[in-house]
Amino acid sequence: MDIISMLIFFIYSMMIFGILVYVSPILSALLMIIIPVAFLYIISDYVVSFFSISQFSYFGVHIYNLHILLFIWSAFIGVIAYAEMLTWYLLKGTQPKQVAQEPLAAKREQVKTPVSGLKDFFQKLYKILKGEKIKAKP
């Protein structure tokens, strides 16, 4: 096996894993795809030759660096999907619905405009990325 290839894949995996754990699963998923594609556009000849290096053969089937990259992607996509589902489930919470009626004046003050809806969306997204719980609407 080519030790340089394994070192490159190890550094790539540790970078994605670090971003997954310490920053955000969504950001790690984006970077996981963007980094190889960006390198493919920037230095396509070297990347194509790197992906076509045969690492080993198993019962006559050659395993190339591209197969190893796809294996890393599938493993991390599974971890990211599991983390997102678990985060959604834990942040969902169970809050009882409020039955009390609000006064008519309070309902008029809560008129939603497209700008306020977008502002609420980004505030919730920011809270989710920080790891805070968001309150579910009744």
Quickly list DSSP for 111-136.
Answer: ---HHHHHHHHHHHHHHHHHT---PP
Q: Three-class SS of residue 58?
A: strand
Out of 37-41, 51-55, 98-102, 113-117, the most confident range is 37-41
The residues spanned by each domain of the chain are: 3-98
CA 88, 89, 91: angle at the middle one, nearest 5? 65
Checking if the pLDDT of 84 tops 60, the result is yes
Looking at every residue in the chain, the average pLDDT score rounds to: 80
Instruction: Reply yes or no on whether the pLDDT at 37 is more than 80.
Output: yes
pLDDT beyond 80 at 42: yes
Mean pLDDT value across residues 3-16: 88
Give the pLDDT of residue 103: 60
pLDDT interval class at 18 (50, 70, 90): very high
pTM for this prediction: 0.58
Residue 65 parent element (H or E): helix 65-92
Statement: residue 107 has pLDDT above 60: no
